[in-house]
Structure 1
Amino acid sequence: MRADPSSRLPVPRRAGGPALSAPGRPAALARPGAGTPDRSARRLWAWWLVSRAVLVTLVVTDQAFGMQQSVLGDLHIYAEWGRGLSRGEGMPTGDDRWQYPPGAAVVFVLPDVTHAYLGLPYRAVFVGMMVAVDAVLTAALVRRSIPAAGFWVAGLTALGPVALARFDLLPAAAAVAAVLALAAGRFGRAGFHLAAGALLKIWPVLLLIALSRPPLRSPGRSASIDPPPDPPPGRPTGRFPAPSPDWLRLAAGVLCAVGGLAALFALTGWWRDAFGFLGAQQARGLQVEAVAATPFVVAHMLGHGTAPGYSYGSLQFDTPLARGVATACSLTEIVVIAISALWWWGWARPPAAADGAGRAGVLVGRTLALLLVVVVTARVLSPQYLVWIMALVAVWIAMARPAGSGGLTVPAGGPAAPVPAGGPSWRWVALLLICVVLSQVVYPWRYNDVVQGRIMMSLVLVVRNVGLVTVCGWAWRAAAGSRPA
């Protein structure tokens, strides 16, 4: 009896993915062993445990391993604010270091309340909260895409202990949750997560700007790049259609988050000066790490200009020229965001996509491009801001390369070209990770060298800043050229 010839045929491969199973053979048995998703997920979680144990150790031991700067400085400030808020003293708007939206007050109070009732140290509760948020975010990415989760675990490890000693993981997790909810068609949840993140740090509102004009879906009308048909008599006319149920659910989710915080503030009396943080942001100079401060860093390295001074909770250049540059940077942010909003909401057609993941991928690409402009033109660029960028890159990878599709691909168009599914290329993802590693080298390990104008570390900071500008340019090109699959 002759063997079935099909058993000798080569097994075809999908582009960028694992081999397909042979006819009649279960897909789960086609590639046994190390390549199975379950084993990859277990390895990733083992890596997560080891890396987070290292980060927690660095936070707890602080400067025991030769760090020039302590990462616990902000934690002491958080504890001070938390005590005042829990005792009814209201928002600390008299402190020029208070520069956060009102929702941050809840984050600062929770560890203090836990300390009051359970006796646990504020530092331990806060770091535990951040580790828990990181674990939830990692789990959400693992379910969607192992490469995305791997990038996230590696990126946060590369940033170092500052990632767990600040609360930027919370708005980052909220933004990722909003994108995943949009991809699943759960617009109410997406609105809630988006608003919750924006109440902690303003940047998640960029998701709303990048979302584009209605409709996500309109009643009786599918998403299409073709012009909508003329409405029947009695229907509203004009360029913008009537709000769709999806948009109404999104707005309802936003109102739930805002209303919940407003009710809490009314009960606690925190509503007074809830927006006092805006004045502190406008009065700041140029922080040493800011991209716009690069010429001042070089001048200080060469022995010219003035040294940075401590003000508004950070070391910054505070000369009239530096303040003028900072003002110009703020105006640049406003102009770029305004033009993008007018284009995406007024003239650009809504992106056509076969599924929610494609639309979410376009949304994340646009948001990341806007966020990178905000970061590279900001008068302040603290290392924890890179958590925001890495969270969006991770969820963009998840939208472009879902579970089982393999890793990212490097397109023929070069490092700035998007992968076919609309995600980032490996090259600029790798450059971003290099920038993150250099950020940890600068702060907390060798920050004093930068402040003192030492040549080596000043050049490291310059290279990091140039890398971030390059990533920003690539992100804009990728977002402009990305199309949902």
Structure 2
Amino acid sequence: MTASGTGRPGLPALPVVRAVPLVRPVPVAPVALWVVTRTLLLLCVFKVLVFPGPDVTTDVSVIYQGWYEVLRTGTFPLDDVTWQYPPAAALAVLSPGLLPFLDYAHAFFVLAFLADAVVTGLLLYAGRRPGKRMAGAWVWIAGLALLGPTSYARYDVMVAAVAVAALLAGARRPRAMGALAALGVLLKVWPALLLAGTARGRTTRTSWTAFLITALALVLLFSAAMPGALAFLRFQRDRGTEVESLGALVFHVARHFGWEGEVLLNYGSVEFLGPYVSLVSTLAMVLTGLVFGWLLVWRLRARLFTASTACDAAFVAVLLFTTTSRVISPQYLLWLVGLAAVCLVFRGSRMDRPAHLVLAATFVTCLEFPVWFSHVVASDALGVPLLFVRNGLLVAATVLACRTLWRHTVTEPAGAVRPLPTQRHVPAGKAAERQPSSARK
């Protein structure tokens, strides 16, 4: 704001208010970091640079490409137990066909890169608006770099793009949020949790109605167009305890005390097989049910819904699902990084510390897979501590995020002091004027 003359003699100078732009300019630093880190990721998945550990790109060049050959014939992989994904996952697997001038794997990596670019652009745009911040973009840029080439070697980055778009749209466009969440669910089930914290009333009714209608329409469309759209439910049910999960820590330690089980590739992942594995898997599912019971109680008791509550609740819900799951694959950290990034776009979000713990867990995840995965499989003196640290960080992030969400939406709003209905707020100056002269002396 600057002062200038009015141009008419005898009149005092009046202040001239300069227009403040609604959107701040794009900062150079996060864009530069994104360019550098993404160039390195592309060089790794294109095998120009050799990343330590097993080749993470074989899931694309072998498994995804095998599914691609089946899906393009008009049916789902009905005889392949590793197909454990909802029907819209076919879109992600078939998408490299959009770039016929590249081989399948290279086309997939380019599309994953583009999905990453979309998420980064959305977070940068949102962070520049009034009342928002750039911390979300920084979390996303750092998170994918810390996870390493796995970020581009799974289709989860595409699912994360849909989830981020849904949450950013939710504040003003609940119908779009519901439709995008439904698409996310049909890509990979976890985006159903995006609607856990929608504000009561019209927002919840609109978003959930759009979600149900879109999900039903997509299921009917895929079921009519391609046989076996829901076969993934049977294959997913038969999963065991994967070596990187929280429950697997029991068997990693038990192997040093004579446990007679073994580690094998089972249902598309490296799992423990042997005595008591089914018991631990059942307990994991029971624990998942219990934590979602807590989430339902939170939903019923929550009193305050702010602009960031939907993002915070989605982050908490996916943390609960991930930490208690029978499977904590490295790409699951992509989900958490994406949701943490959206939370930190909002200045009112209190999820900074859980988000930082997730970033730390993402870095340790890259160390345990792929860098030192052989030590994890062997349950040796390097692999077991790595898993304890990674899973410990996830547990700490989950507990802290749950506590923060409860405190700022249930406890503090319930204990807030409210003025009595008969009281009126009187400004201090007016109150002084109303006092008798004897009281003001």
Matched, 1:389 2:389: no
- Distance in 2 separating the partners of 1:74 and 1:479: 37
| CA 1:80–1:424: 2 relative to 1, 3 Å | same
Which of residues 169, 185, 190 is equivalent to 1:198? 185
Match of 1:422 among 342, 345, 349: 349
Change (3 A) 1:67 1:250: same
Q: Aligned partners of 2:326 and 2:207: how far apart in 1?
A: 36
Distance (Å, rounded) in 1 between the aligned partners of 2:262 and 2:50: 27
Pick one of 176, 185, 188 that aligns with 1:189. 176
CA contact (8 A) 1:104 1:199 kept: yes
1:53 partnered with 2:39:
yes
CA contact (8 A) 2:260 2:274 kept: no
User: Structure 1 residues 68, 301: CA separation in 2 closer, same or farther (over 3 Å shift)?
Assistant: farther
* 1:27-61 Cα deviation digits (max 9, x unpaired): 989xxxxxx95362x22111111101111111111
Partner Cα distance (1:279, 1:320) in 2: 23
- Select 2:157's aligned residue among 151, 157, 169: 169
2:202 matched residue in structure 1: 216
User: Quick one: which of 95, 98, 123 aligns to 1:114?
Assistant: 98
Deviation at 1:66, TM superposition (A): 5.5
Task: Give the counterpart letter for 1:107 in structure 2.
Answer: A
Question: Hey, what does 2:69 align to over in structure 1?
Answer: 83
- 1:290 counterpart (231, 236, 245): 245
CA deviation after TM superposition for structure 1 residue 211, in Å: 2.7
Provide the secondary structure at the position in 2 that maps to 1:467: helix
Q: Is the 8 A contact 1:383 1:439 kept in 2?
A: yes
Alignment of 1:243-262 (within 5 A): 247-248=205-206, 251-252=209-210, 254-256=212-214, 258-260=216-218, 262=220
1:365 matched to 2:312? The reply is yes
Cα contact 1:55–1:160 (8 A) shared by 2: yes
- C-alpha change, 1:342 and 1:467, in structure 2 (3 Å) is closer
Q: C-alpha offsets along residues 343-397 of structure 1, whole Å, 9 cap, x if unaligned?
A: 52xx435534xxxxx33x1122222222111111111110000111111111011
Cα offsets for 1:66-89 (capped at 9, x unmatched): 52211122112111111111023x
Residues 291-370 of structure 1 correspond to what in structure 2 (within 5 A)?
291-300=246-255, 304-341=259-296, 344=299, 347-348=300-301, 351-352=304-305, 358-359=306-307, 361-370=308-317
Alpha carbons of structure 1 residues 258 and 136: separation in structure 2 relative to 1, 3 Å: farther
Q: Determine if the alignment matches structure 1 residue 458 to structure 2 residue 411.
A: no
Structure 1 pair 341/249, CA: closer, same or farther in 2 (3 Å)?
Answer: closer
Residue 247 of structure 2: SS of its match in structure 1? Answer: helix
Secondary structure, in 3 states, of the residue corresponding to 2:382?
helix
In terms of mean alpha carbon deviation, does 64-73 or 129-138 score higher?
64-73
Q: Which residue of 1 aligns with 2:105?
A: 123
CA gap 1:331/1:471 in 2 versus in 1, 3 angstroms: same
Q: After superposition, what is the alpha-carbon deviation per residue over 1:441-469, rounded to whole angstroms, capped at 9, x for unaligned?
A: 11111111211222123211111111111
Tell me which moved more, 126-135 or 305-314. Answer: 305-314
State the match for 2:418 in structure 1. Answer: none
Q: Distance in 2 between matches of 1:125 and 1:349?
A: 45
| Identical counterparts, % of pairs | 30
What's the counterpart of residue 139 of structure 1? 121
- For residues 163 and 150 of structure 1, what CA distance do their matches in structure 2 show? 16
SS of 2:265's equivalent in the other structure is strand
Deviation per residue, 1:423-449 (Å, 9 max, x gap): 213x44332212111100111111112
Aligned-partner Cα distance in 1 for 2:120–2:51: 30
Distance 2:298 2:138 in 1: 34
User: In structure 1, what residue type is equivalent to 2:232?
Assistant: F
Question: Judging changes above 3 Å, is the alpha-carbon distance between structure 1 residues 321 and 44 closer, same or farther for their aligned structure 2 residues?
Answer: same
The amino acid that maps onto 2:47 is: T
SS in 2 for 1:94: coil
The residue type paired with residue 351 of structure 1 is L
Q: How does 1:458-477 map to 2 (within 5 A)?
A: 458-477=384-403
- Cα pair 1:141 1:398 within 8 Å, conserved: yes
Show the counterpart of 1:11.
none
**2 CA distance for matches of 1:398 and 1:363?**
12
Distance (Å, rounded) in 2 between the aligned partners of 1:429 and 1:187: 25
Q: Secondary structure at the match of 1:328?
A: helix
Distance 1:39 1:362 in 2: 26
Cα distance in 2 between the residues matched to 1:302 and 1:162: 33
**Closer/same/farther in 2, CA of residues 28 and 190 from structure 1, 3 Å limit:** closer
Kindly provide the amino acid, as one letter, of the partner of residue 93 in structure 2.
Answer: F
Larger Rg: 2
Query: Hey, what's the Cα distance between the residues in 1 that align with 2:330 and 2:287?
Result: 21
Alpha-carbon distance between aligned partners in 1 of 2:273 and 2:356, rounded to the nearest angstrom: 34
Q: 1:299 to 1:87 in 2, by over 3 A?
A: same
1:267-286 paired onto structure 2 within 5 Å? 268=225, 270=226, 272-286=227-241
Give the match for residue 79 of structure 2. Answer: 94
Corresponding residue number in structure 1 for 2:374 = 448
- TM-score under structure 1 length normalisation: 0.74
Residue aligning to 2:168: 180
Is the CA contact (8 Å cut-off) linking 1:365 and 1:478 kept in structure 2?
Answer: no
